[in-house]
Amino acid sequence: MIIAQLTGGLGNQFFQYGMARRLAEKHNAELLLDTSNYGSNGELRPQNLAAFNRPLGLFRFRVKARVALPNEISQLRDDYFRATPRDRVVRQFRRLWPGFLWNKSHIKEQQFRFQSAALAWPDNVYLQGFWQSPKYFEDSAPLIRQELQPTDSSIVASANDAIQKLKTRSSPVVSLHVRRGDIAHAHETLGKMNITHGAPVTMEYISRAMAEFKPDTCFFVFSDSPKDIAWCRQNITAKNIEFSKAESDIWDFTAMTLCDHHIIANSTFSWWAAWLDAKPGRRVIAPKVWSPPEASFRMIIDDLLPADWQVL
């Protein structure tokens, strides 16, 4: 069996699934998901970001996996993670000897770069990391694209209807994702630059990306919440423009995948919407900067962005 720990928002969950699903397919093994980071209100977040919920959304898609049971997780993951005196002592020893009493079946991502050795990892492992590179699952891309489709067919029908109506007004339709939410709150309201992975993309990037398309293009703008959509309405203009109501993240995500081309944010949410769209000739524009120097960690995009995407 392959067990993947889930953490983060929907885009992060997709990367963790894609990585583990490919490995499970390689070994003809069952894929199990450790969902223990999520409660009824989503994943626990720092107090100053608690209002920005990260629900477990992966099971709203046609994934081929089930939730791992506690006894199954304990077989493969490190056993010294609790707040007990014994576990604290072991973790103290690991500061000098990182592999001390470490369960070798528990594989932890070591850096924010593609690890080629991962493609040959064995069966019966517990995977902990973000795994943010398509190189981890590119040889299983058709399978991943097939399974990461919403289970609710009415969402697909509704989103497709909306896109087709826009095309009668103007074509092509380009998704424009403006990630704000928690990162805007951290940077613009709290003035804290180091509690999120990055800041919202700049208006300069948005304007340059939109200028890459013909004037009669229809831009369909998506963001995190009605408040963030209001910000977009105040700051983004075009001859043909439509704004999502931001009432359903799954609807927004599905509609984004159905657009003709994509302008993504520094966001795994819109990364996946663009990647799942495999239509011939579709264009994807992505930002060069995903995290500022003050961020809690630096996101290196060399292995994150496919070679055929345009970077601004």
Provide the total of helices (H) and of strands (E) in the chain, helices listed first: 10, 13
What is the residue range of 106's domain?
2-143
Which of 143, 178, 197 terminates a domain? The answer is 143
- Residue 148 counted as domain residue: no
For 42-110, the DSSP string reads EE---GGGTTS-----GGGB----EEPPHHHHHHHS-S--SSSHHHHHHHHHTTT-TTTT--TTEEE--
- Residue 263 counted as domain residue: yes
Please state, for a pLDDT cut of 90, what percent of the chain lies above it. 73
Name the pTM for this structure. Answer: 0.95
Same domain, residue pair 136 and 188: no
Same domain, residue pair 116 and 176: no
- Which pLDDT does position 191 carry in this prediction? 81
- Residue 270 counted as domain residue: yes
Residue 27 has pLDDT above 80, yes or no: yes
The DSSP output letter for 259 is S
| Mean pLDDT confidence for 183-207 | 88
Q: Tell me if 162 sits within 8 A of 255, measured CB to CB.
A: yes
Say which residues have a Cβ less than 8 Å from residue 220's Cβ, sequence separation at least 6. 163, 166, 173, 174, 175, 176, 241, 242, 243, 244, 255, 256, 259
Q: How many residues does the chain have?
A: 312
- Residue 248 counted as domain residue: yes
Same domain, residue pair 177 and 214: yes
Which of 97, 114, 143 terminates a domain? The answer is 143
Residue 143 has pLDDT above 90, yes or no: yes
Residue 79 has pLDDT above 80, yes or no: no
Domain count, the chain: 2
Residue 178 has pLDDT above 90, yes or no: yes
Cα separation, 267 vs 290, whole angstroms: 8
**What is the pLDDT of the chain when averaged over all its residues?**
93
- Residue 258 counted as domain residue: yes
Q: What digits encode the pLDDT tens for the residues 239-295?
A: 999 999 888 999 999 999 999 999 999 999 999 999 999 999 999 999 998 887 666
CATH of the domain at 228: 3.40.50
Same domain, residue pair 167 and 301: yes
- Which pLDDT does position 218 carry in this prediction? 96
Residue 46 has pLDDT above 70, yes or no: yes
- Residue 23 counted as domain residue: yes
Please state, for a pLDDT cut of 70, what percent of the chain lies above it. 98
- Which pLDDT does position 195 carry in this prediction? 82
Same domain, residue pair 204 and 86: no
Same domain, residue pair 109 and 258: no
- Residue 64 counted as domain residue: yes
- Which pLDDT does position 163 carry in this prediction? 96
Mean pLDDT lowest for which of 93-102, 125-134, 172-181? 93-102
Same domain, residue pair 125 and 161: no
Same domain, residue pair 64 and 198: no
